[in-house]
Amino acid sequence: MTGTVYKSTGSWYTVKTMNGKFYECRIKGRFRLAGIKSTNPIAVGDKVEFQLETKNNTETGVINRIEERKNYIVRKSVNLSKQTHIIAANIDQVFLLVTIDNPPTFTSFIDRFLVTAEAYAIKTVLLFNKIDTYSDENLLEVKYMSSIYRQIGYDCIEISATTGENIDKVKTLMTGKVSMFAGHSGVGKSTLVNAIEPSLELKTKAISEQHMQGQHTTTFAEMFDLSFDAKIIDTPGIKGFGVVDMEREEVGDYFPEFFALKHNCKFNNCLHLKEPKCAVKEALENDEVSYSRYRSYIQILEGEDEHYRTDNWDNM
């Protein structure tokens, strides 16, 4: 039988077949995919082949093959283990939820995420959530950040998952596609899924309650079929986002605004650091490239990690 992985809880995978039936499946023995060393060999969104087994009157499946992935989004853990986790596979687009505060989302996090998405050619839309709660100053910050990201080609939408503002715009973009919601814990990913499809009643929690329990609310990535021809993958909050290893020369190519200027640099292998006649540095001096983007670029190039904080992905 064949199906798509809708949920993975570590050792068990919930697989949905073409005729709409769900099976709990597992992998037998070691199962390695060529190319990627990750802690989870199979991720939500993977298309798999499995065989049914009956034990103690329950039917479960054993996965014996994964179809080649169209794409996947992978994150390197920022703790000492430096393991990689595949967050999801075979997705059409990611919505990265950003909040100015409660919790704050910094541009270094956004940029790391975008570099990874660019490297795997996955379209990302930025959703600035919780606009119903913002002071004028916070709203100015949202406008400023959106202008930076819009200018370099990313769609930015201001939304409120609780008042429903601009949710219709998100739904329009989601139609006919497999989307994933990503972002820090508490930015409102599950609240947004509920706003779009209230019948799902996903668990959500105020950040103050989370802190008391020291736990994030969503603990496993899970895919849902929505009532308007769309699929959504809700994911656990990501704290530090480590960019997977890539060549130093490659990093700049995943900053679209740098890539567009690269052919004007004197050296074709320019790293946009101290080289003479660098078009990126010139643009930076003329305020045509944002300083925060350039700073993120340097941080990634220097292999600096964001501060180490654990999240649910570290337990998988």
Ligand X SMILES: Nc1nc2c(ncn2[C@@H]2O[C@H](COP(=O)(O)OP(=O)(O)OP(=O)(O)O)[C@@H](O)[C@H]2O)c(=O)[nH]1
Sites of contact with Zn ion (CB under 5 A): 265, 270, 272, 278, 280
Distance CA 316, CA 314 (A): 6
Token pair, residue 178, equals 């497999």
For ligand X, which is the closer residue by CB, 161 or 316? 161
Token pair, residue 11, equals 């050792």
> Using the rule CB under 6 A, is 206 a contact of ligand X?
yes
Runs of H (alpha helix) within 175-287? 189-196, 207-213, 248-251, 256-261, 279-285
For ligand X, which is the closer residue by CB, 40 or 290? 40
For ligand X, which is the closer residue by CB, 4 or 185? 185
For Mg ion, which is the closer residue by CB, 14 or 190? 190
> Using the rule CB under 6 A, is 160 a contact of ligand X?
yes
User: Phi and psi (nearest 5°) for 170?
Assistant: -65, -45
Q: 63 has which bridge partners? A: 27, 50
Binding mask 175-194 for Mg ion (x = CB under 5 A): --------------xx----
- CB 224 within 8 Å of CB 231: yes
Question: What is the total count of residues that contact Mg ion (CB under 5 A)?
Answer: 4
Q: At a CB cut-off of 8 Å and minimum separation 6, what does 87 contact?
A: 43, 72, 73, 74, 75, 180, 182, 221, 235, 238, 313
> Using the rule CB under 5 A, is 90 a contact of Mg ion?
no
Residue 160 partner contact from ligand X, Zn ion, Mg ion, none using kind-dependent CB cut-offs of 5 to 8 Å: ligand X
For Mg ion, which is the closer residue by CB, 206 or 273? 206
The Cβ of residue 13 has, within 10 Å, a number of other Cβ atoms equal to 26
Closest distance of CB 118 from Zn ion, Å: 18
- Among residues 17, 39, 71, 133, the one that binds ligand X under rule CB under 6 A: 133
- CB 92 within 8 Å of CB 178: yes
Residue 265 partner contact from Zn ion, Mg ion, ligand X, none using kind-dependent CB cut-offs of 5 to 8 Å: Zn ion
> Using the rule CB under 6 A, is 105 a contact of ligand X?
no
Binding positions for ligand X, 212-231, rule CB under 6 A: 216-218
Residues that bind Mg ion (CB under 5 A): 189-190, 217-218
